[in-house]
Amino acid sequence: MHRLCKELVKQGVDVTVYTSNLNGNDILDVKTNTEVIIDGVRVIYFPSKILKKLYYMPLLKQHFLKNVSNYDLVHCHSVFNYAQNGVLSICKKRGIPFILSPRGMLESALIRQKSRWLKAIWLALVEKNNLFNADYINFTSDRELEEYKKLGLPIKNSYILGNGIELQNRKKETRRDQKSILFVGRINWKKNIDIMIESIALLPGYKLIIVGPDSENYWKKLWELVKKLSLENRVEYIGEKYGADKQDLFRNAGCLALISKSENFGNVVIEAMSYNTPVIVSKGVGISDTIEKTNSGLVIEPSAIQLAESVKKMENEELRKAILSNANKLIQNKYSIEFVVKETKKIYQICINEKHTNIRAPKCV
């Protein structure tokens, strides 16, 4: 979200970010209750000392209430969030328009998988009202919208707009290892990494590089599968990578695979595309419909056999070039940060104009 906020500021939108000092189970080493400027964006971190899973931050609500007159619009990028609920109750009372972006959290399979009954109660008693009162709900893909509708939740107005990516300098292209498959993401059950490991057993000479956080200690289980299949020399988990290290992984990979059970969008897919890396995705990934329609990647069912077959298809140089050409057009036309910022700003102005008659650059939080 920081990339979006940074670019909105460049386009004249006055942005203030309210967030917590939590980073998963860790606490960030940041000043709390104090405004800091990061890349031109005002950011305020608030402490969450109890009920951390719900982001219980009473100081956030207090600060917003004191400064509510400074904002024309609120855009929330979450659900199941206690602090956010407090802010939205103030918005409703004061007539401030707000947009909700569920970010894939309102999907029946994910709700059933973890804290099912607590989420069901929260949806019924709290979130359903917020969704009903939202001026707009932002979905990142058609798939996310369809999953939302299955839950029977209220929807007044909505729009579909994916996440934006900065286009990369292709002059830095390096020689790729065409026999390497890259996975980037959280290490958990949802990502079908076990299927990816099984596919390597069907691809002599190929290797799988796995990148991402393992906060659930799931890699231990996956490593047992690696040993069972005698793939210790062809499957490598290298933990989290950032900045130049992560960029090099994209530039060097033969292809990126994301064959998750479900993804509301699939940020890593357009990230790989921006580095001219071909992608293979499952039908459960939100962006898969767009990829299939534009022939900008290969779309499969999440199975070891289908993944192995698709990897072999990528060896066809003519097919590979066509896919990369289409992917480049796709990210430029639909997923560049410039396009996403332009469309976001339009939606912000529409929300504000529906509440007020004056037209000006919005101030949002």
pLDDT of 360 higher than 80: no
pLDDT tens readout for residues 140-194: 999 999 999 999 999 999 999 999 988 876 555 567 889 999 999 999 999 999 9
**% of the chain at pLDDT higher than 70:** 95
pLDDT at 359: 44
pLDDT tens readout for residues 322-352: 999 999 999 999 999 999 999 999 999 999 9
pLDDT at 11: 92
pLDDT at 181: 98
Does the global pTM surpass 0.95?
no
pLDDT at 364: 60
> Is it true that 2-164+337-364 and 170-334 share their CATH fold?
yes
Give me the mean pLDDT over the 27-56 stretch.
89
Q: Residue type for 218, please?
A: Y
CATH class for the region spanning 170-334: alpha beta
pLDDT at 166: 85
pLDDT of 362 higher than 60: no
Give me the mean pLDDT over the 293-321 stretch.
97
pLDDT at 231: 98
CATH class for the region spanning 2-164+337-364: alpha beta
Calculate the average pLDDT of the chain. Answer: 92
pLDDT tens readout for residues 88-119: 999 999 999 999 999 989 988 878 877 888 88
Domain boundaries, the chain: 2-164+337-364, 170-334
